Structure 1
Amino acid sequence: MAVREPLGMRKAVLAGAVALALTGTGAALAWSATATPTPSPSQSAPGRDTAPGQHMKAQRRQPLHGEGVVKNPDGTFQAVLEQRGTVESVSDSAITVKSEDGFSQAYAVNGDTRITVIPKAADGKRDKPADGTIADIAAGDTVRIAGVKDGDRAAATRIVKGGDDGPGFGLGRGQGHGKGHKK
């Protein structure tokens, strides 16, 4: 029978502790050891506006707007924007969107702006998204928009019309266009 050396045992214990922490099990154990009671499904959680028993995906809170910075493949940095709201005004070259909290942002629209329209099917479910044009968007429509910011100017890179306020077809991240979408 082989005898493990103490250093090997320490490495194994350390690796197990790291794996436990990374999976979140350690946090769950620590949380369960506190006196905090477990909320019942009937208690309302912040941002929860679905009935108990409905799918958890529908319970995620959806951000209204945000700004972040990403690193481009060439090593430069770029400010990116995301917003969900109602179209205040739209033209062939610009769109202004106002979020529920009153935040409003104008975006330039150009030939590189991808527009996706998600129609509602007759049975109330979503149909497959289709490519659209700026002519498909009107004041009062609900949209999700992604863009880039240069100084105080913003340009739309992607606009998604439809899909209501629920989770579902997202704006995507980075330069990729998601599964099934072609540039």
Structure 2
Amino acid sequence: MATLQKLSDKRWRIAGTVAAVAATTTAGGVAWAATNADPTPSPSPSASPSAPSNQPDPGKGLGHRGEFGMGGALHGEFVVPKDGGGYQTVATQRGEVTAVSKDSITVKSEDGYSRTYTLTEDTLVNAARDGIDDVKVGNTVQVTAVVADGKATASSVNDGTVRQAAGDKWGFKRGPR
């Protein structure tokens, strides 16, 4: 049970970090990672409140840039503290599924960037009842992964296409369309 709790805590910390980076970059700031040398961030320039925003409304429907809480980010990597000490690299990407199996998923972002992620029995898949079997080529997904030795292993896959279809089926509306 303690192992499951640690795994759950780790996933929430990664998800929280992704949300914090997305919120910071959406607000016009600059994402930063603390180091032992200087744990205090310096102020970042931010967009003027009176300046027009080029950021789409995050409440818009599937496929809009604000989806999945990443702001306008399509893909990226950042470093977070690792349980037990040290650091680990986390990758995140939003895009279209170009290949999927029980062992891997390949995602291509709208800027052409493509990456394949390894799936394990510990990968959390937010789709429909059958998990990764419900994720199809052409669906829009958000992947969060841990990168080690050049290999990206997905910690979570969120299928916005399947979730949108399920919400529509049950009559749940998602913001203005």
| TM-score grouping bracket, smaller chain normalisation | 0.5 to 0.7
Q: Deviations over 1:13-68 (max 9, x none)?
A: xxxxxxxxxxxxxx9xxx9xxxx8944xxxx4222469xxxxxx88x833111101
Structure 2 CA distance for partners of 1:71 and 1:92, relative to 1, 3 Å: same
Report the alpha carbon displacement of residue 162 of structure 1 after superposing the two structures with TM. 1.3
The CA distance in 2 between the partners of 1:45 and 1:88, in whole Å, is 32
The CA distance in 2 between the partners of 1:139 and 1:48, in whole Å, is 26
Identical columns (%):
36
Residue 80 in structure 1 maps to residue 90 in structure 2 = yes
Q: Deviations over 1:95-118 (max 9, x none)?
A: 00000111111000110000012x
2:107 aligned counterpart, secondary structure: strand
User: Which residue of structure 1 aligns with residue 75 of structure 2?
Assistant: 65
Structure richer in helix, relative to its length: 2
Moved segments of 4+, more than 2 Å:
36-39, 47-50
The CA distance in 2 between the partners of 1:105 and 1:112, in whole Å, is 19
The RMSD of aligned alpha carbons is: 3.1
1:101 aligned counterpart, secondary structure: coil
Report the alpha carbon displacement of residue 89 of structure 1 after superposing the two structures with TM. 0.2
User: 1:66, 1:81 within 8 Å by CA — same for their partners in 2?
Assistant: yes
Structure 1: 5+ residue runs without aligned partners?
Answer: 1-26, 51-56, 118-129, 165-183
Q: Aligned match of 1:47 in 42, 47, 55?
A: 55
Q: Deviations over 1:101-143 (max 9, x none)?
A: 11111000110000012xxxxxxxxxxxx66521011100000
The CA distance in 1 between the partners of 2:83 and 2:108, in whole Å, is 32
1:111 aligned counterpart, secondary structure: coil
Matched length: 109
- Which residue type is aligned with residue 137 of structure 2? A
Structure 2 CA distance for partners of 1:139 and 1:37, relative to 1, 3 Å: closer
- Which residue type is aligned with residue 61 of structure 1? G
The CA distance in 2 between the partners of 1:70 and 1:48, in whole Å, is 28
User: Which residue of structure 2 aligns with residue 134 of structure 1?
Assistant: 132
Q: Name which one, 1 or 2, has greater alpha-carbon Rg.
A: 1
2:92 aligned counterpart, secondary structure: strand
Normalising by structure 1, report the TM-score: 0.52
User: Which residue of structure 2 aligns with residue 106 of structure 1?
Assistant: 116
User: 1:115, 1:132 within 8 Å by CA — same for their partners in 2?
Assistant: no
